[in-house]
Structure 1
Amino acid sequence: MASAAFEDIADTFDFLDDWEDRYRHVIELGKAMPALDEAFKVPATKVEGCASQVWLLPRIEGTGPGARFSFDGDSDAMIVRGLVAILHALYSGLTVSEVLATDAHAELARLGLDEHLSQQRSNGLRAMVERIRAIAAEAAAE
């Protein structure tokens, strides 16, 4: 149940022949993402478990399972910033119940990220997904 924005990324990854091109594309996605205001780069928005510094600022519109989910995010590493952009494409605009129903591992596997990221980056990506799911679960319970 991926968003149209994520499907566009998946289509681009299918088109790119080798991982180096895909890696560059991830970095370009990160560069295109708006920077998070420094005022929001605080411990409350920081994602623990990432080798790089990562911040996710959730934006929930509405209440309960039908509330719309989005977030702003940033990282001090360009490749991780690109991963934040990919997660943004995957989740933003979904309801919090759709966020919880999304199999992030399966969707990200379509991009081949699980095969080409270092163990530290994979752990960081998993930590970002866990944070997003926790935020969605909390919002769904309200």
Structure 2
Amino acid sequence: MAQAAFEEVVEDFEFLEDWEDRYRMVIDMGKAMPDMPDALKAPATRVEGCASQVWLHIAPEGGVFHFQGDSDAMIVKGLIALLHRLYDGVPVAEVAAIDARAELGRLGLNEHLSAQRSNGLRAMIERIRKTAA
């Protein structure tokens, strides 16, 4: 089961009729995310396999998974916001049990992202899962 914040996104998506509105919502979620400090945008936090610049700073605390992310592409920053709603605040031990592809599939993203964006999303999920493990 996904986080409550992600479930809200699923509900909101059900009310949006076309993909242009859904993309706009994802982009708006990315714009609403706090900027990641430049000091954290380092080679160690850069996610390889993404067409755009992507950084994830993963910092679990007290057994709870937390991360910050940023990208130079607005749609990708929106995808980071979706992942944040899916994973942030989850007990670290439960991160591996989240099937991100299935959860994001509930939004219809699997059919509407380009191959490059899909590869980048997979790379971000892989980084999150590896770090949590």
The TM-score, its normalising length taken from structure 2, stands at: 0.98
Q: Is 1:39 aligned to 2:35, yes or no? A: no
Q: Is 1:106 aligned to 2:111, yes or no? A: no
Distance 1:17 1:121 in 2: 22
Distance 1:4 1:59 in 2: 21
Q: Give the CA deviation at 1:125.
A: 0.3
Letter in 1 for 2:93: S
Q: Give the CA deviation at 1:96.
A: 1.2
Distance 1:56 1:126 in 2: 13
Correspondence for 2:69 among 45, 48, 73: 73
Counterpart of 2:84 in structure 1 is 88
Equivalent positions of 1:24-35 (< 5 A) are 24-35=24-35
Q: Report the 3-state secondary structure (helix = DSSP H, G, I; strand = E; otherwise coil) of the residue aligned with 1:69.
A: coil
The TM-score, its normalising length taken from structure 1, stands at: 0.92
Counterpart of 1:131 in structure 2 is 127
Q: Give the CA deviation at 1:39.
A: 0.6
List runs of 5+ in structure 2 lacking aligned partners: none
Q: Would you identify which runs of 4 or more consecutive aligned residues in structure 1 move more than 4 Å? A: none
Distance 1:9 1:22 in 2: 10
Q: Report the 3-state secondary structure (helix = DSSP H, G, I; strand = E; otherwise coil) of the residue aligned with 2:17.
A: coil
Q: Write out per-residue CA displacement over residues 45-101 of structure 1, whole angstroms, 9 at most, x where no aligned residue.
A: 000000000000112112xxxx10010000000000000000000000001121110
Distance 2:60 2:115 in 1: 31
Distance 1:28 1:80 in 2: 11
Distance 1:3 1:87 in 2: 10
Letter in 1 for 2:51: A
Q: Is 1:116 aligned to 2:112, yes or no? A: yes
Letter in 1 for 2:30: G
Q: Give the CA deviation at 1:110.
A: 0.2
Percent of aligned pairs with the same residue? 68
